[in-house]
Amino acid sequence: MFALVDCNNFYASCERVFNPALIGRPVVVLSNNDGCFIARSEEAKALGLPMGGPAFKYRELLRKHRVSVLSANFTLYGDMSSRVMATLGELAPEIEVYSIDEAFLDISGFTSFDPPRYATHIGATVRRHTGIPVSIGIGPTKTLAKAANRLAKKDPRYKGVCMLSSPDEIRKALAILRVGDIWGIGRQWARLLEAGNIRTALDFSIASEPWVRKHLHITGARIQQELNGRSCLPLEQVRAPKQTICTSRSFGRTVTLPDEMRQAVGTFAGACSRKLRKEGSLASMVTVFICTSPFNKPAEKYWGTKTVALHIPSDDTIALVRAAERAFGAIWREGFGYKKAGVIVSGLEPAASAAPCLTLFDTPDHAANKRQQRLMEAMDSLNCRYGSGTIRVAAENAEAWRPNQTMLSPRCTTAWEEIITIRT
DNA sequence: TCTGGGGTCCTAGGACCC
DNA sequence: TCTGGGGTCCTAGGACCC
């Protein structure tokens, strides 16, 4: 049996832990640049504020109902997430951290416990340790645990814990769920299935297997198997190393000057190199993209992208910034108003594989490489101790394009100097 | 006026090898 | 006029997740 523990309205709940005045009131958290809703309290959902809705279109509604509107504080949410996961790790031996606010637990071995009772205990413990409310779904496959979780969230009679185990319980639950509510069935596939008169999760579970295999491929076939109680998706306790790492941002204002764009690209390349070092990986390719707003008129739209290879796989800030600048030079076009840019590093390999990959014409300078590595270590430890951005390369500069964050809450769990700003 | 960021997997097709 | 069989690697595009 699997249990899926999912934090309720996670970002909104994090904000409430440190600002109790938000409890019982509508709260929304905005995406970077204060663009869209990415979390809503129950009260905000009840007002009809949709997930992903652009905030500016709902300004009047937000004002009228005195909704608390907050900029995303990912530092806070990331730290709260690790506290929730640490608590779960103490309560179940096998855990897969699936996302910032969700974890699967393998509870197959818990034969002497009553699963729903133990789940209630897990929920209460997480609440006591972190202040975050959770819902828990239990089922014989991950997909059914997800479905159970959805019911636990939607129907208050479950009191936050729902278990689907007998074939009869499963059938009744699947009859309630719409096909688009199934984990792994997105908008496109839901539309395709509904056109074929497959409307509920139950319809999908008994649909023709060859038809599902043909139109939804192996991915859809697995989902169908899982709904029928045959587990295809194992618990993944060890996260596989990342294959790509991306840093991108929308800008707080339109950027037109090449130097300002170059600084944005340099900053993102620097962020990617830090992520690489944290991951313990080296990149062999660097991709830069720059673009105008997708909502511009067609004549004012531009989307430029360029990938360059590195001579030697690297996690070095200076090497990556140089490569990114080279790519940027190839795609910059004068005369557009840019709204977003990003850097993607790929062709990743473990840094620990030691034997550095040499190119035919390079003479490796081991002493210089060693110095460079120590420079990065020194930068990382200074930024770790005195706060990120304490030391950076000159190409990293956020002055011109810095995203808007007009309603940012304090980083209560990670920055001493921000604790005092808590209001009640 | 204002619309997020970071990932994965799968398939199809093309270029290439012997 | 007719033109094999068995592979790999890479990329683009489309779907999905949070």
Residue A31 contacts strand B, CB under 7 A? yes
Q: Which positions of strand C lie within 7 Å of protein CB atoms?
A: 14-18
Within window 274-333 on A, which residues have Cβ closer than 7 Å to strand B?
275, 293, 295
- Confidence band (pLDDT; 50, 70, 90) for A423? low
- Segment A70-95 shows an average pLDDT of 96
Query: Any idea which of A125-139, A261-275, A339-353 has the lowest mean pLDDT?
Result: A339-353
The gap between A316 CA and C7 C1' (Å) is 37
Query: Any idea which of A223-232, A255-264, A291-300, A327-336 has the lowest mean pLDDT?
Result: A291-300
Strand partners, A37: A30
Amino acid A314: pLDDT: 92
Which single residue has its CA nearest the C1' atom of nucleotide C18?
A99
Residue A9 has pLDDT above 80, yes or no: yes
- What's chain A's Rg over C-alpha atoms? 24
Which single residue has its CA nearest the C1' atom of nucleotide B8?
A243
Amino acid A359: pLDDT: 61
Q: Which positions of strand B lie within 7 Å of protein CB atoms?
A: 1-11
The gap between A111 CA and B5 C1' (Å) is 41
Give the list of residues 6+ apart from residue A86 with CB closer than 8 angstroms, or none.
none
Give the pLDDT confidence of A174-206 residue by residue, as tens digits.
999 999 999 999 999 999 999 999 999 999 999
Residue A346 contacts strand B, CB under 7 A? no
Half-sphere exposure of A274 (CA within 13 A, CB side): 20
The gap between A220 CA and C16 C1' (Å) is 10
The gap between A53 CA and B3 C1' (Å) is 8
Residue A186 contacts strand C, CB under 7 A? yes
Query: Any idea which of A46-55, A326-335, A359-368, A407-416 has the lowest mean pLDDT?
Result: A359-368
Contact A71, A34 (CB under 8 A): yes
Amino acid A357: pLDDT: 59
Amino acid A360: pLDDT: 61
Residue A137 contacts strand B, CB under 7 A? no
Give the pLDDT confidence of A210-238 residue by residue, as tens digits.
999 989 999 999 999 999 999 999 999 99
Contact A361, A317 (CB under 8 A): no
In order of A4, A7, A287, A332, the CA distances from A137 in angstroms are 5, 12, 40, 49
Q: If you average pLDDT over every residue of chain A, what do you get?
A: 92
Amino acid A286: pLDDT: 93
Residue A403 contacts strand B, CB under 7 A? yes
The gap between A118 CA and C7 C1' (Å) is 53
Residue A52 contacts strand C, CB under 7 A? no
The gap between A355 CA and C6 C1' (Å) is 34
Identify nearest nucleotide to residue A183 by CA to C1′ distance. Answer: C17
